[in-house]
Amino acid sequence: MLSTMQDEPLSLGRLLRYAGEAHTASTVTTWTGGTTRSRSYPELAARAAQLAGALTKLGVGAFDRVATFMWNNNEHLEVYSAVPAMGAVLHALNIRLFPEQLVFIANHAEDRVVVVDGSLVETFAKVLPKMRTVRHVVVVNGDVHALDAPPSVAVHAYEDLIAGEPTTFDYPVLDERSAAAMCYTSGTTGDPKGVVYSHRSLYLHAMHVTTPSAMSLSARDRCLAVVPMFHVNAWSLPYAAFVSGASLLMPDQFLQPGPLLAFMAAARPTCAAAVPTVWTGVLARLEQHPQDLSHLREVVVGGSAVPPVLMKAFEDQHGVRVLHGWGMTETSSLGAVAHPPAWASEDEAWPYRVSQGLFPPLVEHRLVDDGNVLPQDGEALGELEVRGPWITGSYYSPTGELEGSDAFDDGWLRTGDVGRISPDGYLTLADRAKDVIKSGGEWISSVDLENGVMSHPDVAEAAVFGVPDEKWDERPCVAVVLRGGATADVEALRDHLAGSCAKWQLPERWTFVAEVPKTSVGKFDKKTLRQQYAAGDLEVVLAD
């Protein structure tokens, strides 16, 4: 029997209109390095309409890809709003990728228009000539003449382009299953792969992000989006802000701990989201330059495992609660969130809070090993597979052929993450399948060892990666960054680590580095560490 309910498609155009009409006091604010510039959501909606009008005049039609090459800022949010609403497809390019990767991705996605921040024009100029499908470049707050574009590409100034366009736009009614945006994985362990989100998937996901089971967003929040808009749509914060009315704080290019903290002092966010390495840097800066953070009710950390020592320091030293979440480009970001059970005391809550968390109702999950589905008993270790309305069912292919089909198992997405699920539903990841260390047939979790080393007071950061070993096939090697002035040696660090791991897991190889190499989105880059080790570029100390 059919229901009697109306069949209104979920669309980002509807969401944008709603934000402009219902959240009139909410704002998006960008940091300029010393001051802020803000617009209200009604102003944003009006400018998005102008942009939609201008892009239509440039010939942008249904499903044409409009890319961005931008920091998180007001104008980026305007593009985020206008492009899906008008029926085109938003594609935020990762500005930190190597030129070859950027060119590959833009050509693969067949980007037609690219909106570029003035501050990034120089970088973009190097890749533009190789982007085969780009016909228009729109420069935001910058010099259009600085871009020496090939004759096939027209260059426009953003403000000139939208000036004079009407502040309303007749957004089309769209099939909710049609493409709204696309994003490529950050390529931590392999080549970037494209995921195409639908209006429905983004809408449902944004609604969930606002709930108390996730980020608890409301119009009383000012949310600092440190996570870039090219990294899984800034974990959906822009659209979640439109649902909830939370104001958005955009750091633009000022992402180092000092400038970020200056922005926080000026704009007093109530919540913030970023990968662990950002928070590690912020914490270290706070040690030297203390600052009141009482305005922050919560920081959301995900993208890689949160070191428990980081979480504790934020809470004990600054009274800021850390919320740990797990997700992937393929899961629209949010796959699990670590809110503890209601019955748990602070002490009882801790193991739940440092886990990767509980799955939302729309993320079905299972653990698989060798084709067998494993029990969720907190013991069995297997690869996590997920499915649901905001999980991708395939990777984008310009020819329509299914790409990366070995990443899918009978309708489930194989995450490449290995972990356990407790009887009460909490996910604890041991590692990425590609990072787990196989030593003499036994598995060692690189993340567990990292957390153990990082709990030493002299350690600022530690990354553990597998290296070949004649006797055991593979053994862990630890790259350590010591805090300024700290003197701990290998013996001290090993003794400390021995308290939290089995003796046979204790690494023999240690290297002290000035900085752990990071990926384009700030994760530990273990691919590079393994290459440096193989090339003999790391000075390795062998423990007895």
Residues forming a β-bridge with 473: 469
- Give residue for tokens 């984008």: 396
Cβ distance to ligand ADP smaller for residue 136 or 324:
324
Q: Is 194 in the site for ligand ADP (CB under 6 A)?
A: no
> Least CB distance from residue 190 to ligand ADP, whole Å?
7
Cβ distance to ligand ADP smaller for residue 46 or 328:
328
Q: Is 392 in the site for ligand ADP (CB under 6 A)?
A: no
Q: Is 305 in the site for ligand ADP (CB under 6 A)?
A: yes
- Annotated active-site residue 487? The verdict is no
Contact 370, 380 (CB under 8 A): no
Contact 339, 213 (CB under 8 A): yes
Residues forming a β-bridge with 532: none
Q: Is 356 in the site for ligand ADP (CB under 6 A)?
A: yes
Q: Residue 172 corresponds to which tokens in the numbers above?
A: 């089309």
Cβ distance to ligand ADP smaller for residue 31 or 184:
184
Cβ distance to ligand ADP smaller for residue 252 or 383:
383
* CA dist., res. 125 & res. 308, Å (int): 42
Q: Residue 285 corresponds to which tokens in the numbers above?
A: 């800066």
Positions 31 through 60 that interact with ligand ADP (CB under 6 A) = none
Q: Residue 313 corresponds to which tokens in the numbers above?
A: 């320091």
* CA dist., res. 325 & res. 300, Å (int): 7
Q: Is 302 in the site for ligand ADP (CB under 6 A)?
A: yes
Pairing of strands 372-373, 333-337: unpaired
**Nearest to residue 234, comparing CAs of 218, 221, 215, 256?**
215
Question: HSE (CB half, 13 Å, CA atoms) of 206?
Answer: 26
Produce one character per residue of 337-353: b if its CB has 16 or more CB atoms within 10 Å, e if not. Answer: bbbbeeeeeeeebeebb
- Annotated active-site residue 443? The verdict is yes
Contact 144, 156 (CB under 8 A): yes
Q: Is 417 in the site for ligand ADP (CB under 6 A)?
A: yes
Q: Is 236 in the site for ligand ADP (CB under 6 A)?
A: no
**Nearest to residue 12, comparing CAs of 141, 173, 138, 162?**
173
- Annotated active-site residue 24? The verdict is no
- Residue 341 is given by DSSP the state P
Cβ distance to ligand ADP smaller for residue 64 or 330:
330
Q: Which of 303, 307, 404, 476 binds ligand ADP (CB under 6 A)?
A: 303
Positions 311 through 340 that interact with ligand ADP (CB under 6 A) = 324-329
Cβ distance to ligand ADP smaller for residue 187 or 251:
187
Cβ distance to ligand ADP smaller for residue 29 or 356:
356
Q: Is 516 in the site for ligand ADP (CB under 6 A)?
A: no
Stretch that binds ligand ADP, among 4-12, 43-51, 282-290, 302-310 (CB under 6 A): 302-310
Question: 330, 383, 450, 461: which one is catalytic?
Answer: 330
Question: 27, 29, 185, 280: which one is catalytic?
Answer: 185
Q: Which of 14, 23, 353, 432 binds ligand ADP (CB under 6 A)?
A: 432
Q: Which of 185, 277, 355, 392 binds ligand ADP (CB under 6 A)?
A: 185
Contact 219, 244 (CB under 8 A): yes
What spatial distance separates the first Cα and last Cα of the chain, rounded to whole Å?
72
- Annotated active-site residue 277? The verdict is no
Pairing of strands 222-225, 247-250: parallel
Size of the site for ligand ADP (CB under 6 A): 24
Could you give the residue numbers annotated as active site? 185, 330, 438, 443
Chain residues in the site for ligand ADP (CB under 6 A): 185-189, 232, 302-305, 324-329, 356, 415-417, 429, 432, 521, 523
